[in-house]
Structure 1
Amino acid sequence: MDDNKLYKALLKSQSERRQVENDRGEAKVEENFRKERPYAGSDRDKPNWTRVETNDNEHPPTVYDSSVSLSLIGNPKPWSREQLRERKIIYSGMADKEVMDAYRELRIQLRNRAGDGNFIVMFSSLGKGHSGLLTAYNLAAAFALDSHTSALLVDCDPYGKELSSLVSSPMTSGVTDFVADRSLKIQSILYPSGVERLTVIPAGTQASSAVELFSAVRMRELITELKARYPDRCIVLNTPPFQENTEARILERFADQIVFGVPFGEVTGEVIEDSVDALGSDKFSGLIFQE
């Protein structure tokens, strides 16, 4: 083979090798990005491209890297262990290991059921007038304890007032305000919780029109946008009691999985069965018994 033919053969070989690498999704040297770190126990290895929450509007990141993006989730006023214990918020190393292990088991079961990617869990209490917010908050906190995962608690119970006592930063606008006012941006309703890697969105101030607002197109746009921001995020929707409010039935459409809370001594087996039947969906994932 003369030099000219050898040179052309080498060029063809290099071109074919690059094509194979592109087909495999392998990164080129000049692209210089790191692959997404998968969930613990997951075998996902494909990088995800998405936006992350940041105050740098001029130079937003374009490549998703969980080790970088998760560090951007601010927590300016972290709760101390004493403050977490006072508020009955779970944390790693807490004295009541049984409670901590129960939330870890919930996290494992919900994640296994969801498979790869992020997902939305709706939590609703079956008790009459019984708020499930603390349970929903701790469920989100359980996901946030995983260093490779972020969590977002979206409080969609406009009648509850407990969230402000569980969050270390003052909150103003929330879900209903965002849906009602198109001038509001998503960043204006996101608040650091005091727990690392856990962000919260309050219900807002428009309680009287919550049913209509939760049914609006802008509500669907909000949930879609929130779910797209992080590929390794778990979103927990806290809703009013399922048996007493229309809001929970409306919000069910946004959930990938649904968990009911059962207050101790308040709910019969018949009520549980009726609630699951009324749901009429394969999204039902289980029960959490609340003290």
Structure 2
Amino acid sequence: MDNNKLYNALLKTQERQKAEQAAHPHSVAEGDHAEQGPEQTANGSRLESAFLKEAWKEQQRHSRQVESEAQPVADAHPNWTMVEESAKEHPPSIYDSSISLDLINNPRPWSVEELQQRKIIYPGMSNKAILDAFREVRIKLRDRAGAVNFSVLVSSLGNADNSALTAYNLAATFAMDAHSSALLVDCNPWDSDLDHLVSSSMAQGVTDYVADKSVKVKDIIYPSGIDRLSVVPPGTLASSAVELFSAVRMRDLMGELKSRYPDRFLIINAPPLKASTEAHILVRYANQVVLGVPFGEVTPEEIVSSVETLGSEKFSGLIFQQ
């Protein structure tokens, strides 16, 4: 018999004893009243009163336990968001990416004409073949990762710094999904193409953050002009890039940028793979690597050599650039 049934049975016994006392008022000596329980009892045996009291206490403990287990636990799941008000009036809500991602700041969205001028892909564009090609890359990257979010490094096999547009469009492809966001981290301090692709003015970036501990993460993230896509510029300390990209603070930054939100995909734009040491350092922060191949500039032998240098573990494919 569980505690609730025992409790109810004892209450019924108590009521029966009260009825017997009323029928025989002199049968019980004065001072033999039972201890106090949930209600005052009278003329019951001390043994039975002790059981009743213990059952009552157990019932109270059980009620408190049920109430405690019903209360939400903050951060019990990394995808939950707790409302900063009374839990009884405002119960916790599960993190909803389709709602939360719409709140990402984008004060200066690009118009269709501006997107076309900059060769940025967008839903409904007339050149559907290019849009579908980037969507296919997104699908393959997701299938290969098999994870909620991941980081992808984009680097060119050519000698020119021409991977910024490819990385930006790849990030924009992930941002097209209403249930995900993208963050483009430009780690090519010798290329200024990102300035032309972003609608807001930018100042501090990756190298500034790594070199100066007073700089906060929020100080280096800027709206891009595309919904659900934010950018981090390379910063102003190009001459120290090799040392800064190898620093522990750089490792911590990349880890935080990727893991802060479960629906964020990190795209890293790196300098040309063959012409820089920085690109090889940045590979360590990526789950996958995509190489851009400028049309007519790279031989098949050079492609094979670059892939062998990277290793097959992280290499995910090629994007041929016009």
TM above 0.5, yes or no, is yes
Instruction: Give 1:68 deviation, angstroms.
Output: 3.6
Letter paired with 1:4:
K
What does residue 37 of structure 1 align with? none
* Unmatched segments (≥5 aa) in structure 1: 23-27, 34-45, 52-60
| 1:181-221 C-alpha deviation (Å, 9 max, x unpaired) | 00000000000000000000000000000000000000001
Out of 96, 110, 129, which is 1:98 matched to?
129
Q: Scaled by the length of structure 1, what TM-score is found?
A: 0.82
| 1:214-264 C-alpha deviation (Å, 9 max, x unpaired) | 000000010011011110111000000000000000000000000000000
Which secondary structure does the structure 2 equivalent of 1:259 belong to? strand
The alpha-carbon distance between structure 1 residues 47 and 176, as it changes in their structure 2 partners (threshold 3 A), is closer
The alpha-carbon distance between structure 1 residues 3 and 131, as it changes in their structure 2 partners (threshold 3 A), is closer
Which secondary structure does the structure 2 equivalent of 1:139 belong to? helix
What does residue 107 of structure 1 align with? 138
The alpha-carbon distance between structure 1 residues 47 and 183, as it changes in their structure 2 partners (threshold 3 A), is closer
1:1-291 matches, cutoff 5 A: 4-5=5-6, 31=72, 48-49=79-80, 64-291=95-322
CA distance in 2, matches of 1:153, 1:162: 13
The alpha-carbon distance between structure 1 residues 62 and 157, as it changes in their structure 2 partners (threshold 3 A), is farther
| 1:79-103 C-alpha deviation (Å, 9 max, x unpaired) | 0111101100000000000001001
Letter paired with 2:248:
V
CA distance in 2, matches of 1:160, 1:133: 8
CA distance in 2, matches of 1:234, 1:62: 23
Q: Scaled by the length of structure 2, what TM-score is found?
A: 0.74
Q: Decide whether the 8 Å contact of 2:161 with 2:191 is kept in 1.
A: no
Query: What is the percent sequence identity of the aligned residues?
Result: 60
CA distance in 2, matches of 1:69, 1:206: 34
The alpha-carbon distance between structure 1 residues 262 and 50, as it changes in their structure 2 partners (threshold 3 A), is farther
What does residue 18 of structure 2 align with? none
Which secondary structure does the structure 1 equivalent of 2:290 belong to? strand
Larger Rg: 2
The alpha-carbon distance between structure 1 residues 73 and 260, as it changes in their structure 2 partners (threshold 3 A), is same
Letter paired with 1:150:
S
CA distance in 2, matches of 1:168, 1:63: 32
Matched positions, count: 260
CA distance in 2, matches of 1:155, 1:177: 13
Which secondary structure does the structure 2 equivalent of 1:92 belong to? coil
Letter paired with 1:223:
M
Instruction: Give 1:116 deviation, angstroms.
Output: 2.4
CA distance in 1, matches of 2:223, 2:210: 21
Instruction: Give 1:63 deviation, angstroms.
Output: 6.4
Q: Decide whether the 8 Å contact of 1:176 with 1:205 is kept in 2.
A: yes
CA RMSD after TM alignment? 3.0
The alpha-carbon distance between structure 1 residues 103 and 50, as it changes in their structure 2 partners (threshold 3 A), is farther
Instruction: Give 1:290 deviation, angstroms.
Output: 0.4
Instruction: Give 1:149 deviation, angstroms.
Output: 0.4
CA distance in 2, matches of 1:139, 1:279: 20
The alpha-carbon distance between structure 1 residues 62 and 248, as it changes in their structure 2 partners (threshold 3 A), is farther
Which secondary structure does the structure 1 equivalent of 2:306 belong to? helix
CA distance in 1, matches of 2:160, 2:105: 34
Instruction: Give 1:281 deviation, angstroms.
Output: 4.5
The alpha-carbon distance between structure 1 residues 136 and 84, as it changes in their structure 2 partners (threshold 3 A), is same
The alpha-carbon distance between structure 1 residues 175 and 50, as it changes in their structure 2 partners (threshold 3 A), is farther
Instruction: Give 1:130 deviation, angstroms.
Output: 3.7
| 1:89-146 C-alpha deviation (Å, 9 max, x unpaired) | 0000000000010011011110111112110000000001242100000000000000
Instruction: Give 1:62 deviation, angstroms.
Output: 10
Which secondary structure does the structure 2 equivalent of 1:123 belong to? strand
CA distance in 2, matches of 1:131, 1:157: 10
Higher RCO (CA < 8 A, seq sep 6+): 1
